[in-house]
Structure 1
Amino acid sequence: MGLKYIEPIKSIVLLLLVLLSITFTLSIWTYTPRLDPIEQSPTVDISIGQRKNVKEIIKPYKFMIKNDEFMRGTTEQLDIDQIVNEMATWKITQLLRNPVEMNKKQMNEFFRQQNQFTLYFQGDVPLSVYDEILEIEEVNIPQFSFDRLVVKWNPKDISFEVHFLNRASGIHYYGRVTPIDTMKSYRSLVVGSEAYKNYAEVLQPDGTYLAVSNESLTIQKLTYFQEELSPTRFRDALFNDPNAVRRSQVDATHEEFGDDHASMIVDTDLKMLNFVHPAAETSESIKPSELLIDVIDSINEHGGWTNTYRFSHINPSYRYVKFQLFTEGYPVHSNAKETTEIAQFYGDDRVFRYIRPYYMLDDPLSEEVELPSGVSVANALMNSDQLDFGTVEEISVGYMMRHDPEQRVYVMEPSWFYLVKGNKNWKQYTPEQDGGEQYGLE
């Protein structure tokens, strides 16, 4: 009789186990524990200085215009900004490449033509990057870089045509201009330029086109009190884990920050730092436009524009980009020991090497200094027995920076500088140039 109830009992026990399993499962699914709210960790702001766009970083340093009546020009930054802002309202259409590459003679003859103005750039600017400033109506903008931008106008119908030229390669692109208001652009760019300083061409033995101001200039001599950023801010911005970084004293004027992957040497005397991340090194090719944007973005990531720096040089083969310090609209040069540049080698999706100053320039004390005309400087260089004037390709105004650590000041001395062909470093002109020393700048 006991055996009679075994099977029903088994069924009842199995049912109870199934119901108990379902109950436990539902309780797990629907259970909500009472937890204290998690406080979100505050985000760390590693913005050291400013973030800037392409228009603020890529700027011409000189504007020169000529027609049948005059040749004028300016290096005043406010003037140049107004010119670029007006051109930013244009659209460039029907962009074409000149099938014939210009030789040096053809290039110089092109610059001598009438009814045109020229914007001068320090480095080779990738056209596809400059499209962010001057709109180019082209689906596939060519991988081409220029260092001179020439705008021609037709006096009869007041139409414009833009030309992008690379003096080293002779490559030349051109396109039609569609302004929003043609007459406004003409009045602003052509008629308005009559107020600029007189310019004149200086004849070169090999026919190189060189035009400089024919009037003296009044420039401000500037004195900045020494200010600096803490190198630890760059440590926090550049290393993956700032807490893992070790700090050590190398000698009286050098400190080293480092972890197992990267290092940063700080020169406390010259206020410079040199960061390197060896694992990021690469020799893979890269387009100039991509390289320039990558470097600008990497500096923007930590707000690295602590002073006014502008694009000045690019070498895609070495994945190298350089930015020049500017103040009051003029480039600042220095001697071999002090730097006025930000230089970066961009590696595999990140910075490989990053060399830069960490001093700050705030409100300066100023006094007026008069400089001779560019023509008189050119004549002095022409008569110098220590220089082959035929090798000079450009003459321009800038500042020579002198650091006085005892007085804790940076002094910016206005001066003329000249650029020798095949050399990316400007040289300072001094009144003793006729028989005196030539100062090479790094």
Structure 2
Amino acid sequence: MKQVEIIKSVVLFLLIALSITLTFSIWTYTPNYKTIDQKPTVDISISNRATIDDVIKPYKSIFRFEDNLTGTTDSAEIEHITKAMKNWTISNVVLKDQNFDAGKLNLLLKKRNSFTLYYHTEVPLRVFEDIVKIDDAPETSFDRIIVEWNSLNTTLDMHFVSSLHKWRYSAQVHVPDLQKFNQTLLVRGKNLSAYTEVKTNDEHLLMIPVNQLEMIRNTYYEESISPSSFRNALFNDPNAVRRSQVGPNSEVFQDDHAQMSINTDKKILDYFHPTAKTNEVSIPSELLLDVFDYINEHGGWSNEYRLTNMNPLSRTVRFQLHVHGLPVFSDSTSTMIEQVWGDERVFRYKRPYYILDSNLPSETETVSLPSGVDVAKMLIESGEIDGSLVEEIIPGYFMKYDMNRNLFMLEPSWFYKIKGNWIRFSPEDFGGEMIGLE
């Protein structure tokens, strides 16, 4: 019996020892995994990425004080205003008028102690709230912001006006520092260039600079992005893409789903994905963000481009090339990124693939343009056009391409808008050729 107890004790000891050994082995075991080769991350960024406030900017600002009207199209001055607005809190955005016609708009524009920001196209308010602080922004859009101030009150009245849809939303703005508002905006606004009102018809009112403009004539070296870079960025499987030459200045990249045509003469590409077509009307804020994000994904902002046209019905968004904050137009190539957003993806994507590279100092000079008042007077009185149809007059650049020297020449010019088309103003004949924006 005593031997049995001894045997039990020995067995128990062995079991405990074995358990300890197994537990230790599990804790300390390190498997001999094979080394996995890390594939390098493929960066399809073609050029630069942007933030939404890089592409949504006012093109003009007008201040109306008690006794004078001032304004600017200078990008730095306008940036000063929009930067200050980022510190404001905008609340109580309410629809006030669903029939805000041109007459009502003119009365609001004429109110003293106010300033107006002009945008080229309708801007969705729910996208704009990514730029400034807005409480509960509704799904609406605007092309003008009008701010009324009282020098003794930190609360301002703000109006979001759509000249297309003829509606007006009002809001309250809290300014954190009234003294800073007066010093950084109002004092600065009083020192801007003198502007005046010009009526092109019984309803339409233009705000035009009184004096001549001094602008810089620029010449840039041409740089190009390889079409193969766009092939790698836009097609799902670049290795499955077929390339073919279809003419002396034209080539095509295509797979079984999409096609990209290249005009090597004008440096333009046209990407097309037919199965993405849809006739569904888009929500403006979603449309703009989808298009913006798509271009951002492949770093497609090769120069400064700004939102200038958006149509939710056709699902089309356009961004115009800008230099020194002013729009660039051309009759020899495209100066616009245009995209049609389809069903959950891009349907069509047209754009330049050239880049305005470094400036050529030896061919840079300052030139004088006639005053906006003189331009408006010649347009209205010339008889060459129907002056009552003029919607806007702005300064900008007309771009020519010197193919032999690979140079882009940007000529300062006035442009006027009729029925959505921008036309270069020519003092010689008061006419011109329709170019640029539609």
> When the two structures are superposed, what TM-score results if normalisation uses the length of structure 1?
0.89
CA distance in 1 between counterparts of 2:223 and 2:208 reads 35
**Retained in 2: the 8 A contact 1:112–1:209?**
no
Question: 1:227-376 to 2 correspondence within 5 Å?
Answer: 227-335=223-331, 337-365=332-360, 366-376=364-374
Asked if 1:398 corresponds to 2:393, the answer is no
Q: CA RMSD of the aligned region, Å?
A: 1.6
Q: Secondary structure at the match of 2:429?
A: helix
CA distance in 2 between counterparts of 1:161 and 1:433 reads 44
**Retained in 1: the 8 A contact 2:200–2:380?**
no
CA distance in 1 between counterparts of 2:234 and 2:164 reads 36
CA distance in 1 between counterparts of 2:67 and 2:390 reads 27
Q: Given residue 339 of structure 2, which amino acid in structure 1 is its aligned partner? A: Q
Q: Secondary structure at the match of 1:191?
A: helix
CA distance in 2 between counterparts of 1:327 and 1:210 reads 23
CA distance in 2 between counterparts of 1:440 and 1:324 reads 15
Question: Alpha-carbon deviations, 1:315-346, whole Å to 9, x = none?
Answer: 111111000000111100112x5210000011
**Retained in 1: the 8 A contact 2:341–2:348?**
yes
Instruction: Give the Å deviation of 1:156.
Output: 4.6
**Retained in 1: the 8 A contact 2:153–2:178?**
no
Question: Alpha-carbon deviations, 1:253-291, whole Å to 9, x = none?
Answer: 001111111110010000000001111111223200000
**Retained in 2: the 8 A contact 1:60–1:122?**
yes
CA distance in 1 between counterparts of 2:127 and 2:139 reads 10
**Retained in 2: the 8 A contact 1:201–1:209?**
yes
**Retained in 1: the 8 A contact 2:154–2:176?**
no
Instruction: Give the Å deviation of 1:50.
Output: 1.1
**Retained in 2: the 8 A contact 1:107–1:170?**
no
Asked if 1:70 corresponds to 2:61, the answer is no
Asked if 1:225 corresponds to 2:221, the answer is yes
Aligned to 2:153: 157
Of the three residues 195, 205, 208, the one matched with 1:209 is 205
CA distance in 2 between counterparts of 1:184 and 1:147 reads 27
Of the three residues 413, 416, 420, the one matched with 2:414 is 416
CA distance in 1 between counterparts of 2:371 and 2:281 reads 44
State percent identity of aligned pairs.
Answer: 43
CA distance in 1 between counterparts of 2:219 and 2:295 reads 27
Asked if 1:43 corresponds to 2:41, the answer is yes
CA distance in 1 between counterparts of 2:163 and 2:315 reads 21
**Alignment CA distance shift 1:433-1:188 (3 Å):** farther
**Retained in 1: the 8 A contact 2:60–2:117?**
yes
Question: Alpha-carbon deviations, 1:121-160, whole Å to 9, x = none?
Answer: 001000110011121112xx22211001111112453642
**Retained in 1: the 8 A contact 2:60–2:119?**
yes
Q: Secondary structure at the match of 1:59?
A: coil
**Alignment CA distance shift 1:215-1:158 (3 Å):** farther
Instruction: Give the Å deviation of 1:205.
Output: 2.8
Deviates more, 1:107-116 or 1:225-234: 107-116
Q: Given residue 213 of structure 2, which amino acid in structure 1 is its aligned partner? A: L
**Retained in 1: the 8 A contact 2:71–2:194?**
yes
Asked if 1:441 corresponds to 2:435, the answer is yes
Q: Given residue 265 of structure 1, which amino acid in structure 2 is its aligned partner? A: S
**Retained in 1: the 8 A contact 2:93–2:138?**
no
What residue ranges of structure 2 are gaps of 5+ in the alignment? 1-28
Count of aligned residue pairs for this structure pair: 406
Aligned to 2:86: 88
Deviates more, 1:224-233 or 1:31-40: 31-40
Instruction: Give the Å deviation of 1:114.
Output: 1.3
Instruction: Tell me which stretches of 4 or more aligned residues in structure 1 moved more than 6 Å.
Output: none
Aligned to 1:17: none
Aligned to 2:107: 109
Question: Alpha-carbon deviations, 1:341-379, whole Å to 9, x = none?
Answer: 000011111111100000011221221111111111111
Instruction: Give the Å deviation of 1:36.
Output: 3.1
Q: Secondary structure at the match of 2:428?
A: helix
